[in-house]
Amino acid sequence: MSTSRRSFVQGVAAAAVASGLDRRAAEAKPIEPIQDPGEIWIDALGAVRFGEEGFAEIARSGITMLDTTLGPAGTPTFTYEAAVQDLATWHGIFNLYRDRVIHVRRADDIVTAKREGKFAVMLGFQNGTHLNRDLRNVDFFYNLGIRQIQLTYNELNALGAGSTERSDVGLSDFGVDVVHRMNELGMLVDLSHCGIKTTLDAIEVSKKPVIFSHSNCRALNDNMRCKTDEQIRKLAAKGGVMGITTVNFFVSNKPRSTLDDFIAHIEHVVKLVGIDHVGIGTDSSIPGWRVNFPTEKIFWDFHNQFKFKPGADVRWPPFIEELDVPEKFHVIRRRLLQKGFSTADVGKVLGGNFLRIYREILG
């Protein structure tokens, strides 16, 4: 996270406390937990805060591992220098909380976190601009603990085109080289924000499974950020996993999406390609959107810096009411069981499928 962006988020947190929303979120009556003790729950793209309040939220969530984004993902000016600065900050966090937080470099780190009652964090980027068109930087960031890179954000970069770019040129030669090097090192190739052609190109050239860490189904919501059935089929054929987001405007085009609208995306992927290729990537923080964005103005002040195009259909509120709580995975588990999913299949959706692909890619 850049200094300016970090200052903005800190200001948002202060406003949340002043408004009382942060306090009310912390004091809200926890939802009755229904986690199977053997399940490892994974959020393939989200955010977390630490300190005693943050660790209390983590405990309520039941989540074992979360992949979090470094840097200002939505800007083409996300630089090498900003990436290194954010990595330094995170290494400081891992050192400060080394008795409670594990930095994920291999899949076994997630299993260790579950066994020891710790929280596992995987570090990733949501853009490739920080690579500076230099393939050696893939190795550099891997050696510093990065395990997931989304090739593009919404716009065009040196690797390919994002989902809101007016023309999708597909994966560049440099993009192909990056994917192959990530395959060799053991890094997750994330295509969540990539345009259709760039996504299909990357799936084709990758020698290993790829992921959509946080996306939704275009068959249910015709939004640029949602994936077509063709993309989902190709992902699954390669052995990949798709994380479904809880973001209101990606789930449906209704003013307020519901829990069942969210569940419908999981059901669609299951019907299309089977239970082994769907998971959860909330694209939210563990406590929920309202803690970070207590007012609509704060939400827009933050998101306008990313210059979203009309096709992205960003709107207030960004959250689904039932899922904007630390216990969102408990809520999802309960609803899936009510829908007739088996306990084993629910375990796959809530973390088992992503753990499987992490074992294959990270080792």
Whether the pLDDT of residue 331 is over 70: the answer is yes
Residues 6+ apart with CB under 8 A from 221: 250, 251, 252, 253
- Please tell me the predicted confidence (pLDDT) of residue 299: 86
Going along the chain, which residue ranges are E strands?
Answer: 41-47, 63-70, 101-103, 119-125, 146-150, 188-190, 211-215, 241-244, 278-280, 284-285
pTM value surpassing 0.75: yes
Tell me the pLDDT tens digit for each residue of 55-113: 999 999 999 999 999 986 666 668 899 899 999 999 999 999 999 999 999 999 999 99
Task: Report residue 293's pLDDT band, with 50, 70 and 90 as the boundaries.
Answer: confident
Whether the pLDDT of residue 170 is over 80: the answer is yes
> How confident is the prediction for the chain on average, in pLDDT?
89
Q: What's the whole-number mean pLDDT along residues 232-261?
A: 97
Residues 6+ apart with CB under 8 A from 121: 48, 65, 66, 67, 68, 90, 94, 101, 102, 103, 104
User: Residue 100 to residues 28, 47, 69: CA-CA distances in angstroms?
Assistant: 24, 17, 20
User: Residue 321 to residues 101, 197, 262, 270: CA-CA distances in angstroms?
Assistant: 29, 34, 11, 24
Whether the pLDDT of residue 231 is over 60: the answer is yes
Determine the Cα–Cα distance for residues 317 and 323; give it in Å rounded to an integer. Answer: 13
- Please tell me the predicted confidence (pLDDT) of residue 308: 61
- Please tell me the predicted confidence (pLDDT) of residue 221: 97
Residues 6+ apart with CB under 8 A from 108: none
Tell me the pLDDT tens digit for each residue of 10-53: 333 433 333 344 444 444 566 777 778 889 999 999 999 999 99
Determine the Cα–Cα distance for residues 181 and 183; give it in Å rounded to an integer. Answer: 5
SS3 37: coil
- Please tell me the predicted confidence (pLDDT) of residue 165: 87
Helix (H) or strand (E) holding 3: helix 3-19
CATH 3.20.20.140 assigned to 3-362 = yes
DSSP per position, 213-282: EEE-BTTTS--TTSBPHHHHHHHHHTT-EEEEP--HHHH-SSSS--HHHHHHHHHHHHHHH-GGGEEE--
Tell me the pLDDT tens digit for each residue of 345-360: 999 999 999 999 999 9
Tell me the pLDDT tens digit for each residue of 267-279: 999 999 999 999 9
Tell me the pLDDT tens digit for each residue of 173-230: 999 999 999 999 999 999 999 999 999 999 999 999 999 999 999 999 999 999 999 9
Q: Is the dihedral of CA 9, 75, 196, 351 positive or negative?
A: negative
Considering only residues 166 and 188, tell me which one the structure prediction assigns the higher pLDDT.
Answer: 188
Cα torsion 115, 99, 58, 215 to 10°: value is -80
